[in-house]
Structure 1
Amino acid sequence: MSTPPPAAGRPPKNVWELTAGAHRSMLLGGLAAFIGSALKIVPYIGLVEIARGLWSGAPRAHLWGWVVASAAAMVVHGVAYTGAVGANHRTEAALRYELRLRLVDKLKHVPLGWFNDRSSGVVRKAITSDTSSIHSLVTHLSGDLANTLGVVVVGFGYLLWLDARLAGALIAGWLLLLALCMLPSLRAMGRSFEDYSAAERELAAVTVEMVDGIKEVKNFGMTATVFGRFDAARRRHADVSMEWMNSSGIGVAIVGAAMQPATILALTTGIGYWFVRMGWTQPLTVLAFALVWVGIPEGLMALVQIFQQVYAAAEAARSTLDVLSAEELPEPAAPAVYTADRSLIELEHVSFSYEPGTPVIKDVSLTCRPGTVTALVGPSGGGKSTLAKLIARFWDVDSGRIKIGGVDVRDQTNQQLMSSMSLVFQEIMTATDTVAQNIALGRPDATRDEIVEAARAAHIHERIMTLPDGYDTMLGEGAGFLSGGEAQRLTIARAFLAAPPILILDEATAQADAHSELEIQRAITALARGRTVVMIAHRLSTIRSADQIAVVDGGRVAEVGTHDQLLAAGGQYAELWAAQNQTMTGARHA
């Protein structure tokens, strides 16, 4: 069963639109469950009518008719309810599958920078557990809600028909109790659940951060900091969970105790006895109320619990809506036609800000000619990484333009733009797949010989051959076969195999030890031949031979030139060079 998107061409605005594909099934299932549940009253009515018949001496055929009708009603109820809930479960599974496809497809079209603002834990939760939260909305909102409503509505109707005064007295009393106990709890629960949802997202994010980065955490002595953040998030989650349970649990407990069958039966028969003494009703009518009324308050409690589940599900589905409503980068329908060498990079008066009014890149113009190496250097926070990511269109610029091959990156399709470059950043990604498939990520049709050749070029082949299954060794979550530097060389092998004309490197040796750094530098040198390279470097000794060096500070390009030209100019680069050399000299003497 397939469920179409809630509204073609635009994201869903709310939970109702999010579940639009299941509405028809929910309506039909709810109708069937309502009819089936209404029939649950028939056996109780049958008992009353049988008692009335025995009291009045009615024919046995009349009595047996009620027995048959009661048995048939229970069978129809069971079939109707089971069928309705079963159909809604199938619809919910199909809708959840469709939503996950849409979420994954959505992630292909949001700006790459969108991921910078969200932890992998939040995104993972939106795709996995939060999509499962629609289960209560689809299956229980219609099925269980209609099943409960049928009993309550038909039961109320029957009792009102029997004796409106007695029914009115009981209804007024129980609704008053329900309102007094539950309304304050529901208001408090609404406030508490928002805090609970936020605490749950925070806990998921810091847990993923802790687990995914455990090696770096221990290596750099960040255990206390990271585990401290986890412990703080865990405590907040526990506190708000307890607050939520307290705010909703007290009222529910009071109402639950008051609506136990024994309590209800005692109160019903007590009020009924008073009505009989006053001559307002008949003993058989009290019997009917005793039989039917016992199930009605229980149904009301079930309604409250269903609404609690649905409210929680709707709150949890917000993250799914947030992802689906994320702004997408506009993309042309067809690839652009290059007007220059496709490895030519041109930045023309580029400005960019994460927050309106606070630019981090300010009127930058820079040209990276085909086959040259451009190094971006400067103090931390100066805008180097942002500038490199703008070339890859992580975000769109506020003003100016960035051109690849003579064409504005905004006029190129995402596939066209990404196929023209490889990105090697500090963050290393390995898929849960074999080493060979990890290298062939950008070229799934590559042969084994081509994969091995790329690995050799990246100086990682020998290490791969020492793994348990060589190129068929599984990597990914839980597989710690490669060090950070070795995994970095794996990504370089991936870039070798893809063979793009442009290479963007963001401090690719940051996680490497001395030996791995040397191997990575050799691999990068081989990879850069014949390509346009933009590299971010903190160690200036690694970019002395670059064709041009751009010093980025305060969001601006302060100076551009070769290593020798910039040293001769005696500007900011010369100061950085002198400071690093002094530090290294001091370290050697120490």
Structure 2
Amino acid sequence: MNTRDAAAAEPKRPGPISRVLNPIRGQLIVAAVLAGVGAMLTLVPLAGIAHIAKIVLGGADIAAAARAQVQSEVWWTVIASVASLFVGMALVSAGELTAHLADNRITHHLRLAATQRLARVPLGWFTSRASGEVKQAMQDDIGTLHSLTAHFYTTLGRAVGAILISVIYLFAMDWRMAMVSILPFPGFFLFFGRAMKASGANMKEFVGGLGRINNAVVEFVNGIPVVKSFGASGKAHGGYREAVDAFAQAFAGFTRPLVGSMANANAMIAPVAVLGVVLVFGTLFVSLGWIAPVDVLPFALVAPGLSAPLLLLHYITHDLNHATGAAQRVQALLETPVLEQPAPDMRQLPTVTEIRVEHVSYAYDAQNKVLSDVSFTLKPGTVTAIVGASGAGKSTLARLLLRFFDPTDGRITLGGVDLRHIETSDLYQRIGFVLQEVRLIHASVRENIALGRPSASQQEVEDAARAANIHERILGLPRGYDSMIGEDALLSGGEQQRVSIARAVLLDPSVLVLDEATAAADAENEVAIQDALSRFARGRTLLVIAHRLDTVMHADHIIVIENGTIHEQGRHAELIARKGRYARLWTRGGYEEPQERAVPSC
């Protein structure tokens, strides 16, 4: 079997909309059918009017004895028309209700599924994603799908139902008049198809530009305080302005082909244009004796009404293009690779705290290899420092120890157990971390500290805060430990760092990873953070990621990383004696004087 045969034999994968809406497919079909049948019934009064007109105009010479029967037929036609109208309206309403219930169900399902998925993806995944990108998929795109689920299928049902019953009725009345009555509509589809093809070619740029605006807004809001403080507010607007300009160009490219084609299409099926065609050919057919004048009335009433559902199909098809892009992004989010958890029979719990990094390599992709064949051991109760220039791979190594992602090659073990065989919740009970980028959730200070141990008592939370030198600051907040982060708990970067240390203290892990924990702190906060870490680090295995050599000179073991590989390692005195890379960096100017308490002692 060749490649083409294999591709033909492989089952076709459903589209993104079909996959996203699969849980409510049945409800949407029911909603569309209800709306379609309802739309058909609401058009019955038009046929009733034509029927009554035919009876009245064609029955002037009816005998007096038959007039009672004619009146009865008229009344029954009126009753049937009114009943059909109300039943049709009820069915359309039922279809709309069904669609909205389905929309509520799928919105709840998608948001819950996205949250559950994001809870299982590697933590390193978030570092390579702009927050606007995730927000667009979880909020904006799921919101866009609301129009699809709540309105598209019922609108489609109504439009198709109205067109179908109208065409059937017209051909039942007279096939010749039916043929000429629908003459304008093939031209509409010709121009409509041309417009859709032209705009579809620019849809990718349009959606991409919208995504760039989302990211630019987030970056603008997050970055403007910094650039304004340096008197460079114009730069804060630069990225946003560029994104807006790019989107304007994409929007113009998307809409320009639509305008002319859709103007021609709409003109061809305007009700007055269709009515003109009906009257012209109706007059011709009457003059030829093919039909009676009264037989033109059904076509004059029904044919122009085809314009509205056809235009409605155009508008919802336009919405469908947006929904397709939204569904693709939502589906991509739901299919994000997750951090695999060990099978129940593979789970192991380490009994000792020694960490071994064995021939570990890591690459974001084929072109970006960050670490290459790195091996070392973190012995229990010791301090190991990793130093190197920015971009050398220090933080990546720290995140591999925390299993933000897994090594491309090699393995990392805790107590002889591969990290991949330890469930994440168990791993983070044994390895704590304080990173340079502090993340506090929108909750009370107490809840932030007790994030890893929600069952901790108030006394335990306060003890952890005291150990982190943040207790007194918390008491000074308007509601103390009940103050909300971002509302009445407005903390500086160093204070937030101490809250994160209190969180780690409460977990009481046997291994602690510090990644530039004081890099963003001012002098006062740095002293408080170092003091807290020094007391907390005693008796624990400690890994310190640092950029300044003077902060790690008292470590038990120092590892120098360059270009993703271990360049040299040993104690401070040993490395100085070797007169290698570390010694040259140490003697180079620009470093601060050594600080005795820079590295938390064990």
Same fold (TM over 0.5): yes
Q: Distance in 1 between matches of 2:311 and 2:405?
A: 51
Deviates more, 1:244-253 or 1:397-406: 244-253
What does the per-residue CA deviation read over 1:535-571, in whole Å, with 9 as the maximum and x for residues that have no partner?
A: 2111222111111111011111111111111111111
- Residue 561 of structure 2 aligns to a residue in which SS? strand
- CA 1:175–1:480 in 2, change beyond 3 Å: closer, same or farther? farther
Q: Is 1:569 the equivalent of 2:578? A: yes
- CA 1:339–1:261 in 2, change beyond 3 Å: closer, same or farther? closer
Q: Is 1:129 the equivalent of 2:131? A: no
User: What is the Cα-based RMSD across aligned positions, in Å?
Assistant: 2.1
What does the per-residue CA deviation read over 1:156-209, in whole Å, with 9 as the maximum and x for residues that have no partner?
A: 111112122222223233212331x22221012212221121111111122222
Deviates more, 1:290-299 or 1:164-173: 164-173
Give the % identical residues. Answer: 37
Preserved CA contact (<8 Å) 1:136 1:310: no
Q: Shift in Å at residue 466 of structure 1?
A: 2.1
Q: Distance in 2 between matches of 1:483 and 1:323?
A: 33
How does 1:174-323 map onto structure 2 within 5 Å? 174-179=185-190, 181-219=191-229, 223-323=233-333
Q: Shift in Å at residue 583 of structure 1?
A: 5.0
TM-score by length of 2: 0.90
From 58, 66, 88, the counterpart of 1:77: 88
Q: Distance in 1 between matches of 2:15 and 2:179?
A: 41
Partner of 1:531: 540
Q: Shift in Å at residue 573 of structure 1?
A: 1.1
Q: Distance in 2 between matches of 1:376 and 1:228?
A: 37
Preserved CA contact (<8 Å) 2:224 2:236: no
Give the aligned residue type for 1:103.
A
What does the per-residue CA deviation read over 1:223-251, in whole Å, with 9 as the maximum and x for residues that have no partner?
A: 44443112211222233233323333443
Structure 1 stretches of 4+ with a deviation exceeding 6 A read none
What does the per-residue CA deviation read over 1:79-103, in whole Å, with 9 as the maximum and x for residues that have no partner?
A: 0001111111011111110111111
Q: Distance in 2 between matches of 1:28 and 1:148?
A: 15
TM-score by length of 1: 0.92
Q: Distance in 1 between matches of 2:386 and 2:229?
A: 28
Q: Distance in 2 between matches of 1:130 and 1:177?
A: 31
Q: Distance in 2 between matches of 1:240 and 1:97?
A: 32
From 379, 383, 400, the counterpart of 1:373: 383
Deviates more, 1:363-372 or 1:531-540: 531-540
Q: Distance in 1 between matches of 2:523 and 2:54?
A: 95
Q: Is 1:519 the equivalent of 2:521? A: no
Partner of 1:4: none
From 575, 578, 584, the counterpart of 2:587: 578
Give the aligned residue type for 1:544.
M
Partner of 1:488: 497
Structure 2 unaligned residues grouped into runs of 5+ = 1-12, 60-66, 594-602
Partner of 1:146: 157
Partner of 1:5: none
Partner of 1:120: 131
Give the aligned residue type for 1:380.
S
Give the aligned residue type for 2:394.
K
Q: Shift in Å at residue 16 of structure 1?
A: 0.3
Q: Distance in 2 between matches of 1:494 and 1:23?
A: 45
Q: Is 1:111 the equivalent of 2:122? A: yes
What does the per-residue CA deviation read over 1:253-300, in whole Å, with 9 as the maximum and x for residues that have no partner?
A: 443344333333233323322332333333222211110012112111
- CA 1:517–1:107 in 2, change beyond 3 Å: closer, same or farther? same
Q: Is 1:557 the equivalent of 2:566? A: yes
Partner of 1:98: 109
- Residue 143 of structure 1 aligns to a residue in which SS? helix
What does the per-residue CA deviation read over 1:342-372, in whole Å, with 9 as the maximum and x for residues that have no partner?
A: x221101111111126422111101011121
- CA 1:511–1:415 in 2, change beyond 3 Å: closer, same or farther? same
What does the per-residue CA deviation read over 1:299-350, in whole Å, with 9 as the maximum and x for residues that have no partner?
A: 1111111111122112112211111111122211337334541x22110111
How does 1:336-415 map onto structure 2 within 5 Å? 336-341=347-352, 343-356=353-366, 358-415=368-425
- CA 1:584–1:545 in 2, change beyond 3 Å: closer, same or farther? closer
Partner of 2:21: 19
Matched residues, number: 571
Q: Distance in 1 between matches of 2:586 and 2:233?
A: 34
